[in-house]
Homo-oligomer: A and B are copies of this chain.
Amino acid sequence: MLTGVLIREATAADWPAIWPFFRAIVAAGDTYTYPRDMDEPTSREMWMLAPPSRTVVAVDGAGTVLGSAKMNANHMGAAAHIAGASFMVDPAHGGRGVGRALGEYAVDWARTTGFRAMQFNAVVETNTRAVALWQSLGFEIMTTLPEGFLHLAKGYVGLHIMYRRL
C-alpha cells in the first residue's frame, strides 16, 4: 500500500471529484471500452456500484481524490466466483503508485469476499503501463483478441484478457 494514500468506500459525494478525470480518461479513447462521449448520468451509474459490488476512492492526506476503482462479479451463476474490476487514476496524480494501491485493494477485496479468481475483460495492449502493473500483481495475459480495440490514435490494436486466481 502506498504511504499517504488511503483507500475508502466511495460515496455519492465523491462522484463530482471522480467525474472530471473519468470523463477525460474515457474521452482519450486509448484505454477504456466505454463510449467516448458517455454522459454523466450513465457514467455515474456504470461506476458507482451498489453492494454487493464495491466502488472505492484513493485519497491523499488532504482528502483529494486521486483515483477510483470498482469491483464486482464478472459473471453470473456458475461463474460468479470470478470477480472483475476497473480502475481510473487521475492523470494529474499518475506515477505515484495510486493504480497499484487500488489494484492491491481490489485483489484483497475479491479474495476476502470469497471470489476465486479475477478477470479483466478488456485491457488494451498498448496500455503497457497498466499491463505491466497487472502482471506485477499476478495477472496473466490469457489471450489477446486481435484488433479487438479501435485505438483513437493507433487504429485497431489487440485487447488482452487478463486473469489471476486468488
Contacts and interface: CB of A to CB of B under 8 A. Distances in A.
A31 to B, nearest CB: 9
Contacts of A75: 33, 121-122, 148
Number of this chain's copies in the assembly equals 2
B147 A78 contact: no
Contacts of A76: 33-35
Nearest to A34: B77
A145 B116 CA distance: 12
A2 interface: no
**Interface band, chain A:** 35 or more
A142 B145 CA distance: 8
Contacts of A36: 77-78
Interface of A: 26, 29, 32-36, 38, 75-82, 116-117, 119, 121-122, 142-143, 145-152, 159, 161, 163, 165
